[in-house]
Each structure stands twice: as C-alpha cells, then as structure tokens.
Amino acid sequence: MEQNIFIDEVGCDVYSKDASYIKTMPPEPIEGQNVTTVFLSMDILAILEISEVDSFISMQISIDLTWSDPRLTMADLNERDSLNSLTLQSRQDIWIPQVIFYNTEIKMESLNDEKAFALVHRNGSYRRQNDSFLHNSYLYEGSENPITLTRVYSAKFICEYNMAIYPFDSQKCSSIFMLKGNAGNFIKLVADQSAYLGPVDLPQYFVMETTITEITVPPNTQAVEIEITFGRRILSTMLSSYLPTFFICLLSFSTNYFKSFFFEAIVTVNLTSMLALTTLFISVSNSLPKTAYIKMIDIWLIFCLFIPFAEVMLQVCQHVSSVDIHYILYIQILAFLYFLPRLFWSTYAIPKPSTTMAPSNSLA
C-alpha cells in the first residue's frame, strides 16, 4: 500500500502512514494481544498542599502514556530515545490516548499541547527503504517501537481522610485515571510503575510508600490507581494539644489538697480550667474535618473536661456533707480507671463499613 512520508518543518522526526490512517481511531492490537494496550506511569514530583478540612491533596505529577501503533512506520530512529522526539505538529497528526483524572473535582484530562513531550523507543529491528525513494532510510515497525507521551500536571485530587485515631493515624490518598469516552471498549489501560521524587519529610506528614494498581470504578470501568501513604508527625500535636491539657488537668486535680476553707478558690480554679479546656477543644475541632464518628483526640479532650467538672461536684459534696477528702480521691481514681479505657475502646469498637473492590495487581 502506498504510504505518505511526513517530515516536520525542521526535518527532525520522520514517520510514515498510509492513506487510510484515521487519527481519531485507536490502533488495532499488535499480534498476540486481544486489545490495544496503553501503559500508564506516574511520578509524583512534589506535594503542594494537603487539606484535611477540604478533603483534597494537591500534587505536581508527571504522567507517561506508552503505546504502540502498528499503522505507523518510523524512520531512522536513534539508539538514544531522547533524540527520537515528535514535534507538536507530528503528534497532532496521529492517534494519542487521552485519560481522565477520575477523582478530581472538574475531571481533568490529559493534554497533547506544547508542554507535552513525545518520543519513540527504538526496540525492534529495521529494514531498508526500497530504491524507489530518494532517501535510503532505515524503517522501523510501529508495532515494535512504542511511543511515550510525557507531560507534567498540577492537579488537586479528592481525598477522604480517616481521622478516627487522629493524631496517631496514617493517611492514604489516591490518584485514579481512566480512558476517555468509550475508548475503554477497545483499549486497556495498564498500570506500569509509580515513584515519589519529592521530599520525604513534609510539614505535618512523612511519605511512607506509593503503590500502583488496576481497579474498577463505577460503572464497571477499568482504571489505574496510584496510592500514596502518609505517616503523621505527632510532635506538634503533642506540644500544642496534649501537653497543655495534661498540665491543666494536673492543676485541677491538685485542688484536692487545698484546705477546706479555700472552697471558693477550689471552685474558681476548676471553673477556669474548664473554660480553658473548652476553648482548646473548640479550637482543635475547628482545625479538623467534621466527622460523624468521634476522634481519639475528642475522647482525650472530653476526658480532660470531665476532670474539673468532677472536681467541682465532688468538692461541693464534700463541703456539704463533710465527707473525708481521701474518700473523694479514691472515688476519682476509680472513676478514671474505669471510664478512660472504655472511652478509648469505644473508638475501636465502632464497626467500619467494608468496601469491595475488583482484584488488582500491584506493580509498585
């Protein structure tokens, strides 16, 4: 079949395609495959923002899409893949796969613009061009020499944070990609590899690992998921929340050793402690996402609020009935030992809803 030779304006890249080539149609599968395969790789270059309140993570990522097009014939490929680049004009004349960023708010799409970079990998053997052509070129089959399109994006992905055991938690956020339109009926998106190239230590987290898997998203659509796992740095939370509340509770508990004629001072100290704890409780709650379940830090703050309240009630009882102060101390200690473990246990005893997901293979 007669082929048209395409040469760009600077003569840097050459490929040929026959007259029946339609750039809006995906290529046919290569020999031995049932569907055309597009490999997806993602490198996380930087994490720009993590917002637990707004439930998103903003990242700078590099997406690689690799596929083979048997309808094309490459000419004079270099051993160094970086020299086999395709210009924007040449990329716009051939079929390019498009993926949708599934879990973004506006459903972003991959782009083939001037910021993208495409190259051809020289993997297969060559054949000489026949003598009827002016240039004696080495030709490479498109089925053996895949094309890779690379572009950098700044994307904001929706992420559901599980704050049940905050601040002793780890979080997982994912980026999900699927083929655009009905291309999934003819093309299979395959997970290739993922890597995190940014700094491991973040202001509130540290990056633990990244994984890439193939999943199924509604309505029964095949997709690729890249998941990144964070561990939380708890030192700042311990210093800003746990340590101050511990000191306030200790100060409130020490009023048990005041003389009985300092009853007004005992009440004043405990009520002031309760006011300070309430203010801190509200501040911490506003800095975290609103959840229907109770968080571990909520249990601690509620327990701390209970201490000055119990101190005032027990001191009132002692003041009215002249009960021995040591008896009050024993009641408080027994109450703390009884209720505190049960408050913590209630967090773990809450059944978590189970989700089913199609089997996937981890390639990380």
Q: What is the pLDDT of residues 25-37, one digit of tens each?
A: 888 887 777 888 9
Q: State the pLDDT at residue 323.
A: 54
Q: Residue 346 is inside which H or E element, if any?
A: helix 325-349
Among residues 267, 259, 265, 344, the alpha carbon closest in space to that of 308 is found at 267
Q: State the pLDDT at residue 321.
A: 65
Q: State the pLDDT at residue 57.
A: 95
Mean pLDDT of the chain: 82
For residue 74, the cross-strand partners are: 15, 140
Least confident of 79-93, 215-229, 310-324: 310-324
Residue indicated by tokens 């893949």: 81
DSSP 145-182: S-EEEEEEEEEEEE-----TTTTS-EEEEEEEEEESGG
Instruction: Supply angle C-alpha 284, 286, 287, rounded to 5.
Output: 65
**Which tokens hold the place of 339?**
């209720």
Q: Using 50, 70 and 90 to split pLDDT, how confident is the model at 158?
A: very high
Q: How far apart are CA 352 and CA 125, in angstroms?
A: 55
The residue type found at 277 is: L
- Checking if the pLDDT of 208 tops 80, the result is yes
State mean pLDDT over 183-198. Answer: 87
Among residues 175, 50, 54, the alpha carbon closest in space to that of 103 is found at 175
Query: So where are the chain's domains?
Result: 3-135+145-232, 235-349
Q: Using 50, 70 and 90 to split pLDDT, how confident is the model at 359?
A: very low
Backbone angle region of 174, left / alpha / beta, with phi > 0 → left and psi within -120 to 50 → alpha = beta
Q: pLDDT for 348-357, tens place per residue?
A: 554 444 443 4
Dihedral over Cα of 314, 317, 318, 319: its sign: positive
- Checking if the pLDDT of 153 tops 90, the result is yes
pTM: 0.78
Task: Enter the CATH code of domain 235-349.
Answer: 1.20.58.390
- Checking if the pLDDT of 125 tops 80, the result is no
Cα Rg for the chain, rounded, in angstroms? 32
**Which tokens hold the place of 333?**
């200690």
Domain 3-135+145-232, classified CATH 2.60.120.10, yes or no: no
